[in-house]
């Protein structure tokens, strides 16, 4: 089954016909909210709002372990994460959708593994390619069918937040090879890999990163919501096509 983790612009999925909600208890505490079960185009899907249904949980306080554990406990096999980002690469302007293929993790002080000393022997997951390539390819096929542009590939820098970055930090991320910056990509992707879930991200560019373009003198929050609202309609479109593809 496919699960969708919605980010700050996607606290609910308007094209989801909700059948029921389920509170899942986990060994890691509370997920961001009850799981929402429903259908898109007749295909069963689970939705979870990463920041809570009232958008009350900041990126550094999301219980990523509980969220991924809860989805895994419901026989989820594929996870599409939707996440807003700031664009660092010059073509990644607000309103662009991109499926990253790499991650650089700058987060800290987040619980970032299920494999602790007391419940497992030492385990190292392979994370060379952090996203599921088959799921990424299905996203591109779905976007093509939906007639929506979806940029292929790019490196996602995961920052700790909740503050935005300085202009110098963005310059450093660019030198490191990052193309976009967000606050929720990690440890979510790594935990999904640890649980054996296929995971891919649709990143929604909602602002130029700090110091770039119209964010030269500061990131303008007033534009973010409008861009996000408009662009999430495209994401819903793509998801409607995704569920109809073999493998979900
Ligand atoms: N930086 C970090 N996270 C973000 C940004 C940004 O500019 N925009 C949306 N999420």
- Render pLDDT for 27-72 as a digit per residue (tens, 0 to 9): 999 999 999 999 998 999 999 999 998 889 999 999 999 999 999 9
pLDDT at 120: 67
Residues 178, 55, 109: CA angle, nearest 5 degrees: 50
Cβ of 132 less than 6 Å from ligand 1 = no
Residues 6+ apart with CB under 8 A from 224: 84, 206, 207
Distance in Å, CA 165 to ligand 1 centroid: 8
What would the two tokens of residue 51 be? 């920041």
pLDDT in tens, 87-137: 999 999 999 999 999 999 999 999 999 998 776 677 899 999 999 999 999
Residue of 82, 165, 185 to mutate, ligand 1, most atoms within 8 A of C-beta = 165
Beta strands (DSSP E) in 11-139 are: 17-22, 35-40, 43-49, 78-87, 97-99, 102-105
Mutate which of 10, 81, 85 for ligand 1? The one with the most ligand atoms within 8 Å of its CB, which is 85
Helix/strand/coil percent split, the chain, to 5: 30, 25, 45
Distance CA 61, CA 216 (A): 29
**Domains (ranges, CATH) in the chain?**
2-242 (3.40.50.1580)
pLDDT average, residue stretch 157-174 = 98
For residue range 203-218, list pLDDT tens digits in order.
999 999 999 999 999 9
Task: Return d(Cα 37, Cα 5) in angstroms, integer.
Answer: 12
- Whether pLDDT at 1 is above 80: yes
Q: Is the CB of 86 under 6 A from ligand 1?
A: yes
* % of the chain at pLDDT higher than 90: 84
Give the pLDDT score at 196.
97
Mean pLDDT confidence for 170-187 = 98
pTM of whole model > 0.75?
Answer: yes
Q: What average pLDDT is seen over the chain?
A: 94
CB-ligand 1 contact for 181 (6 Å cutoff): yes
pLDDT at 248: 60
Question: Terminal CA-to-CA distance of the chain, rounded, Å?
Answer: 7
**3-class state of residue 51 by DSSP:** coil
| pLDDT band at residue 78 using 50, 70 and 90 as cut-offs | very high
The closest residue, in CA terms, to atom 9 on ligand 1 is 85
């Amino acid at each position: 089954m496919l699960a969708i983790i919605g980010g700050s612009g996607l606290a609910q999925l308007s094209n989801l016909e909700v059948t029921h909600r389920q509170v899942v208890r986990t060994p890691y505490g509370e997920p961001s909210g009850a799981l929402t079960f429903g259908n898109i185009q007749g295909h069963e899907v689970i939705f979870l709002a990463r920041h809570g249904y009232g958008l009350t949980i900041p990126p550094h306080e999301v219980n990523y372990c509980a969220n991924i554990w809860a989805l895994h406990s419901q026989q989820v096999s594929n996870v599409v994460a939707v996440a807003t980002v700031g664009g660092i690469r010059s073509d990644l302007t607000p309103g662009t959708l991109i499926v990253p293929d790499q991650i650089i993790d700058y987060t800290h002080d987040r619980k970032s593994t299920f494999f602790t000393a007391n419940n497992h022997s030492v385990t190292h997951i392979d994370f060379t390619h952090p996203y599921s390539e088959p799921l990424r390819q299905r996203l591109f096929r779905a976007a093509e069918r939906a007639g929506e542009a979806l940029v292929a590939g790019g490196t996602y820098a995961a920052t700790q937040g909740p503050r935005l970055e300085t202009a110098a930090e963005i310059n450093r991320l660019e030198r490191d090879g990052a193309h976009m910056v967000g606050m929720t990509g990690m440890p979510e992707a790594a935990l999904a890999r640890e649980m054996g879930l296929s995971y891919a991200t649709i990143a929604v560019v909602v602002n130029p990163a700090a110091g770039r373009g119209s964010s030269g003198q500061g990131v303008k929050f007033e534009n973010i919501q409008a861009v996000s609202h408009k662009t999430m309609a495209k994401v819903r479109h793509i998801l409607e096509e995704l569920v109809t593809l073999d493998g979900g």
